[in-house]
């Protein structure tokens, strides 16, 4: 896995753009939507502790494409990945983020260090037999009362499936339903799981966002987020 993503250190963005070009949308549109979702979690889920800011961990952060959109969301952001070469690029482009290489199945952080741990379109790259262990590690590093968040491709959306088929580093991807992600979060020790679908409409305008929010319970959007309390 690390060798695969090492090889895309310089061309990751181009590969993603190529896989979604048929949609007429740019990668930034999808990144901004994820960043807005995470921003809303911080505001709505009471993550800020008295006397301390919000510290978040991006598990499987890759080249850090999402991180420029999160500069004003967290007080501190950490990222980890199996690909050393991807983190070289991420560090150069996002000096405000603290990056660590994950060389084993155990995350290189102490218990309860983070207010939020999230994995954005990462679990489908993890072998299914390791899904639960992966999410258990996310639970371990989140403090009691913090949040875990899994953002994934919606396998029920045909355009999402087309994009995955066209993406060169997704050829071995195993997509998981929102219900499966929710079940894994519960098995890992999270509670109060809530899932919502997003990226249904190709527009960032307020009316489109409002309509998309009203339909978030339907498995229609290109991606979904499952959020749970530690």
Q: CB atoms < 10 A from the CB of 26, how many?
A: 14
> How far is Cα 27 from Cα 2, in angstroms, rounded to an integer?
22
Which is nearest to 16 in space by CA: 130, 120, 169, 118?
169
Write out pLDDT tens, residues 130-159.
999 999 999 999 999 999 999 999 999 998
Task: Work out how many domains the chain is built from and give that number.
Answer: 1
Range of the domain at 42: 2-229
- For the domain that residue 149 is a member of, what is the CATH number? 3.40.50.150
Helix or strand run (H / E) with residue 117: strand 114-120
Report pTM.
0.90
- pLDDT tens, position by position, 30-44: 999 999 999 999 988
């Amino acid at each position: 896995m690390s060798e695969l993503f090492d090889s895309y250190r310089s061309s990751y963005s181009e590969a993603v753009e190529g896989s979604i070009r048929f949609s007429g949308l740019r990668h930034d549109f999808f990144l901004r939507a994820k960043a807005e979702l995470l921003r809303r979690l911080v505001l709505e889920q009471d993550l800020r502790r008295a006397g301390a800011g919000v510290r978040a961990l991006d598990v499987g952060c890759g080249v850090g494409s999402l991180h420029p959109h999160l500069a004003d969301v967290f007080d501190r952001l950490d990222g980890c990945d199996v690909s050393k070469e991807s983190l070289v690029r991420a560090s150069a482009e996002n000096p405000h983020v603290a990056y660590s290489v994950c060389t084993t199945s155990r995350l290189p952080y102490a218990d309860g260090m983070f207010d939020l741990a999230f994995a954005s379109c990462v679990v489908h790259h993890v072998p299914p037999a390791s899904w639960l262990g992966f999410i258990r590690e996310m639970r371990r590093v989140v403090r009691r009362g913090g949040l875990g968040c899994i953002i994934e491709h919606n396998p029920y959306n045909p355009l999402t499936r087309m994009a995955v088929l066209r993406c060169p580093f997704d050829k071995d991807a195993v997509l998981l339903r929102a219900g499966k992600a929710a079940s894994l979060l519960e098995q890992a020790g999270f509670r109060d799981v809530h899932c919502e679908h997003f990226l249904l409409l190709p527009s960032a305008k307020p009316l489109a966002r409002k309509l998309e929010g009203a339909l978030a319970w339907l498995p229609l959007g290109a991606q979904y987020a499952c959020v749970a309390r530690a």
